[in-house]
Chain A
Amino acid sequence: MASPTRLDAVSNQRALDQFLRGVERRALRMAELGCGSRDDALDLVQDAMCGFVRHYAEKPQADWAPLFYRVLDSRLNDYRRRRTVRSRWLAVFDRPDTEDGDMDPIAQAPDLQEPGPLMRLAGGEAGQALEGALKALPLRQRQAFLLRLWEGFDVATTAQVMHCSEGSVKTHLSRALAALRRSLKDHQ
C-alpha cells in the first residue's frame, strides 16, 4: 500500500501537470509576442516551466500562477538583454525601444468612452493588427497589458510578477493602451 507521503507527491505532481497544461498556451503566446520567434518562445516556456517546477512547486497552489508568470517574465527580460548585447556586437540594431522615456502620459492616456480601434476591423484582420501592435510595444508595456488585462491579475499581483511598483504597472499599462489605440488606428 502506498504511504500518505507518496500519495501526496503523486497528487501534487498531477496538480502541477494540470496547472502547467492550463497556462502553457497563453504563456507561449506571451513569449512569442515578446521574442517574435515560436522556436525561441517554446524554449523560453520550457525554461520557465523547469524553473517554476524547481523553485516553486512546493508553494501553495493559489500562488502558482503569479509565480509562474514571474519566472516567465524574468526569462523574457533575460532574452531581451541577451538580444540587445548580441545586436550591439553585430551592430545590427532592432527597432528603438522607447520604453518609458519621452512620452507625455497625459497626452497618451486612452479615452475609454470611444468605441475603440479593433471594432472596425474584421476577425482575421483584427487579430493580425492586434498582434502587430502588441509586438511593437516595449516589453514592460506589453507585459503590463497581457498580465493585467489578459491574465486578469490585479495591480498588486501584476507588480509582483513584473518585479516593480504598482505605480509603474499603472504607468506601463496606461502607455500600452495609448500606444495600442494609436497603432490599431493606423491599420484602419
Chain B
Amino acid sequence: MNAPDPNEFDKSGWIAQARDLLDQSADGLDAATLSRLNRARQAALATRARRSHFWMLPAGLAGTCALLLAAAVWMPRHGVSGAIRADTPATSQATDSTDAGDALASDDSPEFYQDLDFYAWLDAQRKDGAG
C-alpha cells in the first residue's frame, strides 16, 4: 500500500491545524498538573542519583569487614592489657587464654607454670618471714 508522502502532510492544512491544537493543549496545562509533572520528573532524576551511589553499599560492607578483621588480629596481641584484666569474667577468660599463649611461646617448662601457685605462696611466706 502506498502511504502518503510525508512532505504532503506539511501542505495539508488540517494536519498542521491538528498539530497546532495539540501544541496548544500541551502548553495550556493547569498549574496543578504542571506541579505533578515536576514532582514526577524530580522522582525520576532521584532514581538515577540513588543508582549512582549503589556501589557504595558493597564498598562500605567490604571496608567494615576489613576493619573488623584488622581489629580481631590486632587486639589480642596489643590491645588487651592488664588494666582490663579484672573487668568481667569474660574478659578474665580472654586474658587467661592470652597467658596460656604466652606460656606456650616462652622457654619455661610446663611444670613451672603448673606449680606457679606454689611459687607464689612460697614468695609470700618468704616476705612474711623477712617482715
Contact = CB atoms under 8 A, between A and B. Distances in A.
B126 interface: no
Contacts of B41: 17, 20-21, 24, 49
B4 to A, nearest CB: 6
Interface stretch (B11-19, B67-75, B91-99, B117-125): B11-19
B13 A42 contact: no
Interface in B1-60: 1, 3-4, 6, 8-9, 11-15, 17-19, 21-22, 24-27, 29, 33-34, 36-37, 40-41, 43-45, 47-49, 51-52
A118 B48 contact: no
A154 B6 contact: yes
A16 B48 contact: yes
Contact of A118 (B11, B21, B40): B21
A126 interface: yes
Contacts of A53: 44-45, 47-48
A13 interface: yes
Nearest to B27: A25
Interface string A19-56: 01100111011000000001000100110011011100
B8 to A, nearest CB: 5
B26 A26 contact: yes
Which size class do A's interface residues fall under? 35 or more
A171 B1 CA distance: 7
Contact of A38 (B4, B13, B33): B33
A32 B36 CA distance: 14
Contact of A50 (B14, B21, B26, B43): B43
Interface string A52-73: 1110010000000000000000
Contacts of B9: 149
29 contacts: A9-B52, A16-B45, A16-B48, A20-B41, A24-B37, A24-B41, A25-B27, A28-B26, A29-B25, A42-B33, A45-B37, A46-B44, A50-B44, A52-B44, A54-B48, A57-B48, A105-B1, A109-B1, A112-B8, A116-B15, A116-B17, A118-B18, A119-B17, A126-B17, A127-B21, A130-B21, A173-B4, A174-B4, A177-B4
Interface of A: 9, 13, 16-17, 20-21, 24-26, 28-29, 38, 42, 45-46, 49-50, 52-54, 57, 105-106, 109-110, 112, 115-119, 126-127, 130-131, 146, 148-150, 154-155, 170-171, 173-174, 177, 180-181, 184
- Which 8 A-B residue pairings sit nearest by Cβ, starting from the closest? A116-B14, A170-B3, A49-B44, A46-B40, A25-B26, A118-B14, A50-B44, A118-B17
Interface of B: 1, 3-4, 6, 8-9, 11-15, 17-19, 21-22, 24-27, 29, 33-34, 36-37, 40-41, 43-45, 47-49, 51-52
